[in-house]
Structures are given as structure tokens and as C-alpha cells.
């Protein structure tokens, strides 16, 4: 029996085909905007990246970051990320659990998490934000990027649990099916969660297919 979570097992199996999601024709305008917006917000910062996956966003942010430590709990995706052409001496990778960031060494004044928020159970968002903020200094910049639910483009919701978490059924190329937690928060839910966690200067941007949340960690967070 594997000790890995179902989510980790799913992303390990999906690693080789993951980045095909960025080829969807209808999402190209949004992605072009994000490839400008994300690195601009993190320019010159010492960035801690949570759940870096195959390193798609790592490669986009690395050229402008002071340093970037990209973490993920899945070795299969880290291996793909490491193989990307990245600035020498500026990027490090580490196998790390997003829920155990105290074990990650380094000093950071920014954090990046792309397509991670949607995999955090609604009831556990405050705990995750507390875990993250403890690794960042006051005034640190944080950027979350994730999917909006768009009928016809997004995988349909298969079920909703008692806590309001939503799940999708996803089929991989090998024919296996996986139930995956995938939440699609409303802007007011994001704003409230970040403010309650001590975020300041919170901004929520809604694109057609994605949302972006940026804020700074307050001195009392």
C-alpha cells in the first residue's frame, strides 16, 4: 500500500501529460496575460513556490526572481521540472509537503502557488494559510493562481460533499479514473479567507478561465 495521498498518486500518474492543459485554444489569451502578470508581481523576490508540479510557472518566474525554491511532494513532477532550462544558480527544487513548510529551509519574502488552492479542502484553508505565513516575513508578497469553473471547458463536477467541497472524475491516458478534489471559490470567499488570515492589500482578478489573488502578509499574520 502506498503512503502517498490520492492526490499525489494522481499527479504522479498524470505527470507526463500534465502540461497539455495549457494547450487548450480557448485559454490562450488568459495564459498570455498571466505570463506577464505573475512574474511582474514577484520580480526581485526570494520566492517559495508551493506545489510547483512540472515547473511550468517556475520557468516563467525564475528569470525575474532573486531566488526561487520550488517545492512539491511528487518526485515524478519534480523530475520534469528539473529538466527545464532554468537560470543557473537561481532555482532550487525540494521535495516538500505543502502542509509541512516548517521543514523547508530558507528565507523568503514571496510565495507562489498555482492550482493548489483548489485542492485544499474548504475547511482547511485557514490552517494552510497559517502554515504558509509562518514561513514568510511581514510584507511578503503572495500570489495564488487557479481555475474558474467554465461550462464546456472545465471537467464537470461529479459530486459535492457535506462541507461544500467539489470533486471531479478525471480519466488519464492509461485509462485509469481518479476522483480529484477541485474547488472553485467565489471572489468574496477568497477575499474573506485572505483577510481573516492577515492578508493586506488583497486584490482578486477574474479572467475568463482563471482567477488570481495577490496580497501582502501583515506584520501580525
- CA–CA dist 139, 115 (Å, integer): 23
DSSP state of 155: P
What was the pLDDT predicted at 219? 80
H or E element, residue 157: strand 157-160
- Does residue 31 sit within a domain? yes
Evaluated on CA atoms 173, 175, 180, 186, the torsion sign reads positive
- CA–CA dist 159, 44 (Å, integer): 42
Give the full edge-to-edge strand order of the sheet including 157-160.
157-160, 166-171, 177-181
Which CATH number do you get for residue 25? 3.40.50.150
Residue 34: domain span: 6-217
The dihedral formed by the CA atoms of 130, 61, 192 and 218, expressed in degrees to the nearest 10: 60
- Does residue 1 sit within a domain? no
**Nearest CA among 79, 83, 108, 112 for reference residue 98:** 112
What was the pLDDT predicted at 1? 29
List of the chain residues with pLDDT < 70: 1-4, 220-221
- Does residue 88 sit within a domain? yes
Say if residues 94 and 117 touch (Cβ distance below 8 Å). Answer: no
DSSP state of 132: H
Q: How many domains does the chain have?
A: 1
- CA–CA dist 68, 97 (Å, integer): 17
- CA–CA dist 93, 9 (Å, integer): 20
Q: How many angstroms separate the Cα of 56 from the Cα of each of 29, 31, 115, 124, 149?
A: 17, 12, 11, 26, 21
- Does residue 151 sit within a domain? yes
Helix axes 187-196, 125-133, angle to 10 degrees: 50
Q: Whole-model pTM?
A: 0.95
What was the pLDDT predicted at 2? 36
Amino acid at each position: 500500500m502506498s503512503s502517498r495521498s490520492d492526490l499525489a498518486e494522481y499527479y504522479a500518474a498524470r505527470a507526463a501529460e500534465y502540461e497539455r492543459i495549457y494547450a487548450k485554444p480557448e485559454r490562450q489569451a488568459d495564459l498570455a496575460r498571466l505570463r506577464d502578470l505573475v512574474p511582474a508581481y514577484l520580480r526581485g523576490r526570494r520566492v517559495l513556490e508551493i506545489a510547483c508540479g512540472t515547473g511550468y510557472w517556475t520557468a516563467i518566474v525564475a528569470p525575474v526572481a532573486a531566488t526561487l525554491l520550488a517545492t512539491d511532494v511528487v518526485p515524478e513532477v519534480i523530475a520534469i521540472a528539473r529538466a527545464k532550462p532554468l537560470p543557473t544558480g537561481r532555482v532550487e527544487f525540494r521535495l516538500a509537503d505543502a502542509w509541512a513548510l516548517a521543514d523547508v529551509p530558507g528565507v523568503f519574502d514571496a510565495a507562489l502557488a498555482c492550482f493548489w488552492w483548489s485542492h485544499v479542502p474548504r475547511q482547511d484553508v485557514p490552517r494552510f494559510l497559517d502554515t504558509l505565513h509562518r514561513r514568510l516575513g511581514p510584507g511578503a508578497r503572495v500570489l495564488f493562481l487557479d481555475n474558474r469553473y467554465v461550462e464546456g471547458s472545465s471537467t464537470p463536477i461529479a459530486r459535492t460533499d457535506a462541507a461544500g467541497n467539489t470533486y471531479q472524475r478525471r480519466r488519464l491516458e492509461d485509462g485509469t479514473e481518479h476522483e480529484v478534489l477541485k474547488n472553485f471559490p467565489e471572489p468574496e470567499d477568497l477575499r474573506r479567507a485572505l483577510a481573516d488570515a492577515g492578508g493586506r492589500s488583497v486584490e482578486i482578478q477574474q479572467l475568463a478561465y482563471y482567477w488570481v489573488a495577490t496580497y501582502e502578509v501583515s506584520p501580525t499574520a
